[in-house]
């Protein structure tokens, strides 16, 4: 991993210890797939980060500064994963925020994840629930403790991911991906208006499928004809099993993966 850390527009060597992101999770982040030095969904990532920053009252670095960091870490031809974290700058101890604090931000380079399991992912249901909090719903904010707890529920290499419900029992997402289910010829995906993250790959799939955003119960998932997970780094991931419920490979999922590969070169065959 390589990283660059900035205080406002100035490069610094270490993360400031009084950063409110470190103290309170007061920030937002984006995790992005890089192909040949480019973030092909940058516009979508930037728009989501701007929406989160506006809701939290954060100042974001300029596109120019981010582009410079991107070029320094990835150049023109490298593949990988970029992670951009923007947090509120430091101030006095306590929850009150300093409106004049410069943002602290970090841009880092990571390797691509391994190829998904051949034949589809194996999922489980998580016991850890997502708290209902509309003020933070949809945002990719820096407090991911619920996901950390959920992911800590298993260490079985035969399990690829876990599905999470809200404290009200609605299905929301996987620990690090959004969820889509197919019944007949109709796609649907859980609403993220009370908790969960509005993913960039999720947004693309909504535009392609016209999927309904709905409250979803576990039975709606288990009775589906096909299930997929998606995120901006791994793309579209077919699901083969959830607990005792198995799903055969479905042509609708394969067609969506092919469509994604045509618009995002990072997901083309061999990448």
Structural domains in the chain (count): 2
pLDDT band at 90; cut points 50, 70, 90: confident
The domain boundary, picked from 110, 144, 170, lies at 110
C-alpha separations of 164 from 6, 46, 199 in Å: 34, 26, 15
Q: Over the stretch 21-32, which tens digit does the pLDDT of each residue have?
A: 888 999 999 999
Strands of the chain (E only): list them. 2-7, 10-12, 27-34, 80-87, 104-110, 121-125, 161-165, 171-174, 178-183, 186-190, 212-214, 226-231, 235-242, 245-246
Domain region containing 49: 2-110
Phi, psi of 119 (to 5 degrees): 95, -10
Any domain includes 115: no
The domain boundary, picked from 83, 110, 137, lies at 110
Any domain includes 116: no
| CATH number of the domain within which 162 lies | 3.20.10.10
Whether 200 and 263 share a structural domain: yes
- The whole-model pTM stands at 0.95
The domain boundary, picked from 71, 89, 110, lies at 110
Whether 23 and 130 share a structural domain: no
Q: Over the stretch 225-271, which tens digit does the pLDDT of each residue have?
A: 999 999 999 999 999 999 999 999 999 999 999 999 999 999 986 55
Res 269: pLDDT: 65
């Amino acid at each position: 991993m390589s990283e660059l850390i900035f205080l406002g527009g100035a490069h610094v060597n270490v993360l400031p210890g009084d950063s409110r992101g470190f103290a309170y999770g007061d920030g937002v982040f984006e995790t992005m797939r890089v192909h040949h030095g480019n973030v092909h969904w940058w516009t979508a990532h930037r728009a989501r980060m701007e929406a989160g920053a506006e809701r939290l009252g954060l100042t974001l670095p300029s596109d120019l500064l981010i582009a410079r960091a991107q070029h320094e870490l990835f150049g023109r031809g490298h593949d990988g994963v970029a992670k951009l974290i923007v947090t509120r700058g430091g101030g006095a101890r306590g929850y009150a925020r300093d409106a004049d604090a410069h943002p602290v931000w970090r841009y880092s380079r990571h390797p691509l994840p391994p190829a998904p399991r051949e034949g589809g992912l194996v999922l489980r249901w998580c016991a850890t629930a997502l708290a209902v909090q509309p003020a933070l719903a949809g945002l990719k904010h820096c407090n991911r403790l619920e996901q950390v707890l959920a992911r800590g529920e298993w260490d079985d290499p035969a399990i690829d991911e876990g599905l999470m419900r809200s404290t009200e029992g609605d299905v929301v997402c996987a620990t690090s991906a959004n969820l889509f289910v197919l019944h007949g010829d109709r796609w649907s995906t859980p609403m993220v208006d009370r908790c969960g993250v509005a993913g960039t790959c999720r947004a693309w799939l909504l535009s392609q499928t016209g999927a309904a955003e709905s409250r979803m119960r576990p039975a709606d998932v288990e009775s589906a004809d096909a299930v997929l997970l998606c995120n901006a780094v791994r793309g579209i991931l077919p699901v083969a099993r959830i607990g005792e419920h198995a799903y055969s490979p479905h042509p609708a999922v394969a067609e969506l993966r092919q469509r994604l590969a045509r618009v995002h070169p990072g997901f083309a065959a061999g990448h």
